[in-house]
Structure 1
Amino acid sequence: MNFAFKLKYRFFNAFRELFVHHHGSLEFRAKVFALMIAANDNPPEESYILVKEMAMDIYNNDENRANLLMLNTKEIVEKVVTDNGLDIDKLVLHIQQELKIVPRYANKIDMKLLKPLVLLTKDEETIDYQERILEFLSKLKNEYTENN
C-alpha cells in the first residue's frame, strides 16, 4: 500500500460513514473476518493478506475497497488482541446485534471465505475454537436467512 492510500484511509476512517459507500456492509464483513482472526492469540500476518485477496474477489478487483476491508479487519483484531475495549464476546454480540437490525447482512457470512483463515492456524486448540466459531456463524447465517 502506498503512502497516499494510507493518508486517504486515515481521513476516510475519521469520516467513514460519510465517504465509504455501503460502510455498514463493509464494517460487518470486517467484524466477521476479525472474529475468526482474533480467535488466534497470535494471528499470522498472512491472515490479512488472505482477507485482502478475498476482498478483491468480493469487490470485483476494487483495490481501494479491498484495502479498506483489510485495514478495518486489522483494526478490529488489534482492538481485541490489545484488550482495547473489545473482546471476542463483545465482537460476537456486535455481530448478533447488527444482524437483528439488518438481517440481509447474514448473506455476507461466507463459510468458504472464512475456512481458509483456520488453515493458517498451527495450534490445535485454536483450530478447534475457530471451527466452533465457524459453526456458530453458520447457525447464525441460517437463522437469519431462513427468516427472510
Structure 2
Amino acid sequence: MENCLDKTDRQILRLLQNNGRIHNTDLADKVRVSPATCHRRVQRLFDEGYISSVQARVDASRVGLGMVVLVGVVLERTPQSFPTFEAAMDAQPAVLDCYLVAGDFDYFLKVRVADMEGFDRFHTDVLSVLPHVRQTRTFFVLRAVADAREYAF
C-alpha cells in the first residue's frame, strides 16, 4: 500500500490517537476542514487500513491487573515449535504482546497479571507445559516509563 497521507490525514491520525472519541465536528474544526470532508477522510483512513480500530484504554490496576512481566523465550528448533508457540500465545488473554525477535531469545512476551501469584499460575499452567519451550527468562516491570505511546507522524 502506497503511503499517500497528506498533512491533514496525519493531523487526523494524531488527534484520533489522543482521543478516539472526539466528535467529527470537533475533529473537523481542529484540522480546518468541513465535517463532511473530515468524515470522508476518516472513513478512507479506516478503509485503507491506516486506522485498524478504535479502543478504550483501561486502567489495568483499577481492574485488578496491576503487574506487567516481560518474558524472553527460547524454543527448540523444530518445524512445529514456532507456529505451535505462536498459536498458544495468541490464545492467552494475559499475553498483551508477543514478538518474534532476533538475538538471544526467540520471542519476547508482555504479560499482564494481577500479582506475583497470577504470574506463577501463568508460568506453571502455560509456559512450563508448552512443548518446545527450552528456556525462559523473566523480567518484572517496576515502573512503566513509556507505555503505549502513540506513533509519531
Q: Same fold (TM over 0.5)?
A: no
Q: Which has the larger radius of gyration?
A: 2
Q: Could you say which structure has the higher helix fraction?
A: 1
Q: TM-score, normalised by structure 1?
A: 0.24
Instruction: Return the structure number with greater strand share.
Output: 2
